[in-house]
Chains A and B, each alone.
Chain A
Amino acid sequence: MESIIAGKGIKRGFPMAGGDTFWALKGLNLEIEKGQLAILRGRSGSGKTTLMNILSALDYPTEGDVFFQGNNIAKMNEKERGLLRRVKMGFVFQSVALVPMMTAYENVEFALRLAKYKGNRKGRVEECLKMVGLGSRLQHLPQELSGGEQQRVAIARAIAHRPEILFADEPTAELDTNTGLQVVKIFKDLAASEGVTIVMTTHDTGLMEIGDVVYQLEDGEFVA
């Protein structure tokens, strides 16, 4: 299988009071293959979100390289990274992070607008929402939906523009176990049906079996 994203010696340090540097990531190497559901697991503070932010071009590594489809995104400028995020990547955040004044439909359509999606937008939006099991409540504002429903809209939004890779940071953190499982199942289905690679962080051990590959993080290092 070809690798879609690979990290080489990723280090990320944060300056601390007193001039020291706190190393959140201490030189990580990883390689995720296309169509995989990869899980980054660890306790809070283990560095999983930091790693995810670097992989998803939201943050720069202090040292090391990140190759996305063979291009080193650690060396790209903001504009190129923005374009990348807009077109090739999808995001699901821990907090639902829908645009509050847009309806479910508009939230999904918004991603299409951003990615300058050329096809039938309306069809695609409806398709995506159906895929996450929200065929009916299209015209509702986020605050009128339940937490699980909101997260599904977020997923629909993240995949609408057919990204190559989907990043999900603790997508189940604010959901109960049952709903969480449903969400993860949606991810799994998506990986199968849309062929999208998914990188997801979680601290929930129960979800680990679902992943094709699991990276366990502790203090900025992978542990077996």
Chain B
Amino acid sequence: MLSFVFRKIESRKWMVISLLIGNLLMIAIAAASPMYSQAVLQRTLTRSLSDYYVEHGSCPGLIVLRGGYAAAGKKEEEFRKTIRAAELMEEMREELDVPALFKVTQYYKGNVKAVHEVAVEGRKNELTIRIGCYSDQADHIKIVNGDMYSGELDDHTFDVIVNERTFMDQNLMLGEVLELSEVRDPEKVPYRIRIAGIFENSQEQDEYWIGEPGLWRDVCLMDEGLFQELFANAERMDTGFNAEWYATLDYLQMRGDQAEHYLSVLERYFKIFDDMGYKSRTVNFKSTMETFVANAQKLNITILILQMPIFVLLAVFIFMVSGQMLEMEQNEIAVYKSRGADKKQIVLVYLLQSVLISVLGIVGGIPLGLLMCRILGASNAFLEFVKRAALPVEIGPRVWIFAGAAALFGVCTMVLPVIRYANVNIVAHKRGKNRKSKSPWWQKLFLDVILLGVSLYGLYQYNSQKEYLAIKVMDGASLDPLLYFCSSLFMVGAGLFVLRIFPLLVKIIFMIGKRWWPTSLYVSFLRIIRTKSNQGFLMVFLILTLAMGIFNAQAARTINANAEDKIRYSAGADLVLQEVWKDNSAMLADNALGGGAAGQSELVYEEPDFGKYQTLEGIESVTKVFVDKKVNVSVEGGRAQAMLMGIHTKEFGETAWFKDSLLPVHWYEYLNAISQNSRAILVSSNFRSYFGYEVGDVLTYTNANNDSMRGIIYGFVDYWPSYTPITWEKGKDGVYAGVSNFLIVAHLSQLQSSWGVTPYQVWIKAEDSSQFIYEYAEESGTKYSVFLDAASELIDLKNNPIFQGTNGILTIGFICVLLLCVTGFLIYWILSIQSRTLQFGIFRAMGMSMKEILTMMVNEQIFITGVSIGAGILVGILTSRLYIPLIQIAYTSADQVIPLEIIRDRSDYARLFGVVGLAILICMFILGWLISKIKISQALKLGED
């Protein structure tokens, strides 16, 4: 049986290779998805944990449990708890399965009263200190003065060491003794401490410590064993103490795929700790993990959804190729069947063949998936790659599951059609061959119309709930699978629909010139019209391929460009800064306390030097922008609150970021308009729609100090740099509601001359990177109360795993599409030529020239391929138009501030056409070669069977 399968494969090696390519890609993509999401999530997790470190200055892997023993109630039980807590901490850590850098137990007695034995003038005689010890503390400190503590109790006196700061702050002296009046032995004799030495932490950066020991002001460390003997003695249990158990986990070894496990372990143990009454805990990585889990789910869903169409396309491809192969082998199958092979045996042969292909697919697909992951990891935007640290890719169990599922799916796609064929014996086969080619089943069922209907209905539904969609995204939902599915359905439906009307179209063209068509065109037209199902599959495939390619490209570009535009628009300029201004508010406050004594009563600011920005290296242009978010406007029937922006028109125009397409005319026109009059203002369009203002009306607005200004309206704007027309706010009932924002743009000089110079923002257009401002801020020590860096936000965006994943998947999808396009195309045509060898032989025998046969093929290409390409592009553009506005909602997080623009990049088309063109060229070349190779006499011989 197996050798039979091998022989069969050998005789159809090209088909089998194509099938292998299809399976390989499918398995690779299936395997790449869990590999990629795991890896990118790992990278994200490690990065956000590191960010935590930078932001909080505390190791993200830290887990702290605080408890203690009060020496009251059921003493034994209470005391045992303190021992149990340490054990539980260790058990928890083991279950978390992250190696700990340090495991520390701290025992201490806080608020201990200590009295100097020797009173010194000028210092407090009584101190409040804390006495304690950390396990293994000796390894992490060094004595800088005096001696290390001894572990002995000598006449109720024990040694302690302190840090420099405590030593200084508390006015201690080396070797002096203090009495702990309230800490006594069982005989009620108070203990005493001797300041034996001064320590500091042995390494500057030591994750052993929580916080910086150098900053302690009241801590005395003593010998650990002695502490236990005196204060935490299981034999005596006579005094209380506090305890802190902490473990510093190695956060670099935390695994993204374990995040949920970590959280569930923590939750379980927290419950136990709760029951013990130990309610004070700190887990630094907890919130990071929680956000991570939510994001991971979102990412996994997004990737899966985005991959779906690629899978469908691959399945169609495999189906197409195996269908072609079956078509070719139909004769043989029918013969076997007639010779007594039963259905099972025939299916088994194909099953063996498919399994073989799938196994090879897995063997090659997983490394290919690995390669894809590398590509994904380096994707920056659509078809754009950067050098990044390699992704920590792993081949985990999920990868095997996904790859296995894909392989199984491939086997099913390859074997299922066989069952139909396996029922047909030679008689039925020949009979079927003689039957007229009928409309395919989907045409009879009007599947194309149904699919289009369903997808458009979905589109309509979603369009009418656009706001609801946006709100769902604000609440953390990911891309809606159904919506994305609708776009795929639309493509399939439209593709099939084109197929339905295609023969009509060709028929019309054919009829028009039936009398005049040269023989070659005549033949090819007839062929196109009469043999539907054969080319139908190729056409649908080509249409889908191109449509999906275009859709992928446009979706990715739009999502990226839109998110970037939104960042730029919302910021207003590359850099938006506001320095902390010095003012006389402190003096005013003093004055007020002092009963309003004579002097200044007005808030006066000290304007920082603005000129320095003009000379700073790396700035292209800079301008002052005064922003007051709350000015009152008296409008008809009440007051409205608006954002006031004071600008220098020329500089503002040069500095701010704005998209020309947002306003009906170029926005410079608006700036030019108000530059004519110092009292001229621009206001947001809602002043017109809500309150009926017109151009030329005068608007009065008042600031918080009740100073009012009047401006003449010179124009209305829907959009303005950094202006958000509507913000969505979640109400108390949890429902989001849109709030309209009002904007007034006035001249800065006018505002300053009336209201004085008050803190304004500095808007900067950077020449290149924004790095210079960080250097400047650090060097000069300038402090900013507002600091917006659009460039760094853009970098964050590009590092966002969802964006990265989306770009990566769409890119891979696009590349797959290109690959499939070429392979599918070649297979179809080569097979089509091979199966028509006899016909070509006849044509040649009847005196048709090579040129005529080639013309015939070219004509077929133009109609079948050309129409498919055209239709594919059309369908792609249409799908993008219809569905991208909805799909991108999932990526703009909250409010789509500026209107969406579908981005079409010519280079994508160039790539697509380049590849398709190349495929056609290769194909024509092979065709020409194949045709020229056909020996007429041999071709005729071929026809004899």
Question: Is A67 part of the contact surface with B, judged by Cβ < 8 Å?
Answer: no
Question: Is B401 part of the contact surface with A, judged by Cβ < 8 Å?
Answer: no
Q: Which residues of A contact B339 (CB under 8 A)?
A: none
Q: A93-B940, A97-B943, A113-B519 are in contact. Are A102 and B847 (CB under 8 A)?
A: no
Q: A114-B519, A143-B434 are in contact. Are A97 and B530 (CB under 8 A)?
A: no
Give residues 129-151 of A contacting B (CB, 8 Å).
141, 143-144
Whether the Cβ atoms of B523 and A99 lie closer than 8 Å is: yes
Pick the contact of A101: B434, B531, B841, B935 (CB < 8 A).
Answer: B531
Give residues 799-852 of B contacting A (CB, 8 Å).
838-839, 841-842, 844-850
Q: How far is the CB of A101 from chain B (nearest CB, A)?
A: 4
Q: Which residues of B contact A91 (CB under 8 A)?
A: 842, 845-846
Cα(A114)–Cα(B847), bound, Å: 7
Whether the Cβ atoms of B845 and A85 lie closer than 8 Å is: yes
Chain B interface helix/strand/loop/mixed: helix
Give residues 913-945 of B contacting A (CB, 8 Å).
935-937, 940, 943-944
Cα(A113)–Cα(B839), bound, Å: 16
Q: Smallest CB-CB separation from A84: which chain B residue?
A: B847
Question: Is B433 part of the contact surface with A, judged by Cβ < 8 Å?
Answer: yes
Question: Is A5 part of the contact surface with B, judged by Cβ < 8 Å?
Answer: no
Q: Which residues of A contact B527 (CB under 8 A)?
A: 101
Chain A-chain B contacts (Cβ-Cβ < 8 Å), number: 77
Question: Is A105 part of the contact surface with B, judged by Cβ < 8 Å?
Answer: no
Give residues 31-65 of A contacting B (CB, 8 Å).
49-50, 53, 56, 58-59
Whether the Cβ atoms of A141 and B436 lie closer than 8 Å is: yes
Question: Is A13 part of the contact surface with B, judged by Cβ < 8 Å?
Answer: no
Cα(A50)–Cα(B842), bound, Å: 16
Cα(A79)–Cα(B849), bound, Å: 7
Whether the Cβ atoms of A86 and B936 lie closer than 8 Å is: no
Whether the Cβ atoms of B845 and A83 lie closer than 8 Å is: no
Whether the Cβ atoms of A97 and B434 lie closer than 8 Å is: no
Q: Smallest CB-CB separation from B515: which chain A residue?
A: A121
Q: Smallest CB-CB separation from A79: which chain B residue?
A: B849
Most buried by B among A78, A97, A113, A144: A97
Whether the Cβ atoms of B944 and A95 lie closer than 8 Å is: yes
Q: Which residues of B contact A97 (CB under 8 A)?
A: 838, 841-842, 940, 943
Give residues 84-119 of A contacting B (CB, 8 Å).
84-87, 89, 91, 93-95, 97, 99-102, 106, 110-111, 113-115
Cα(A50)–Cα(B436), bound, Å: 36
Whether the Cβ atoms of A85 and B526 lie closer than 8 Å is: no
Whether the Cβ atoms of B434 and A89 lie closer than 8 Å is: no
Question: Is B400 part of the contact surface with A, judged by Cβ < 8 Å?
Answer: no
Whether the Cβ atoms of A101 and B526 lie closer than 8 Å is: yes
Chain A interface residue count, Cβ-Cβ cutoff 8 angstroms: 34
Q: B504-539 vs A: 1/0 string, CB under 8 Å?
A: 000000000000000100110011001100000000
Q: A58-B937, A97-B838, A143-B434 are in contact. Are A114 and B846 (CB under 8 A)?
A: yes
Q: Which residues of A contact B844 (CB under 8 A)?
A: 82
Q: Smallest CB-CB separation from A98: which chain B residue?
A: B842
Cα(A83)–Cα(B839), bound, Å: 18
Q: Which residues of B contact A102 (CB under 8 A)?
A: 526, 530
Q: A97-B842, A113-B519 are in contact. Are A87 and B847 (CB under 8 A)?
A: yes
Q: A58-B937, A95-B944, A102-B526 are in contact. Are A89 and B847 (CB under 8 A)?
A: yes
Whether the Cβ atoms of A94 and B944 lie closer than 8 Å is: yes
Whether the Cβ atoms of A114 and B848 lie closer than 8 Å is: yes
Q: Which residues of B contact A106 (CB under 8 A)?
A: 526
Q: B365-409 vs A: 1/0 string, CB under 8 Å?
A: 000000000000000000000000000000000000000000000
Whether the Cβ atoms of A93 and B842 lie closer than 8 Å is: yes
Q: A58-B845, A82-B847 are in contact. Are A95 and B526 (CB under 8 A)?
A: no
Q: Which residues of B contact A141 (CB under 8 A)?
A: 436
Q: How far is the CB of B369 from chain A (nearest CB, A)?
A: 44
Q: Smallest CB-CB separation from B846: which chain A residue?
A: A114
A-B residue pairs, 4 tightest by C-beta: A86-B847, A101-B530, A85-B847, A143-B434
**Can you give 28 A-B contacts (C-beta < 8 A)?**
A50-B937, A56-B845, A58-B845, A58-B936, A58-B940, A82-B847, A83-B847, A84-B847, A85-B847, A86-B846, A86-B847, A86-B848, A89-B847, A91-B846, A93-B943, A94-B940, A94-B944, A97-B838, A100-B839, A101-B530, A102-B526, A110-B523, A111-B846, A113-B522, A114-B846, A115-B847, A143-B435, A144-B434
List 7 other contacts, CB 8 Å, given A93-B842, A111-B846: A58-B845, A82-B849, A85-B846, A93-B943, A99-B839, A102-B530, A115-B847
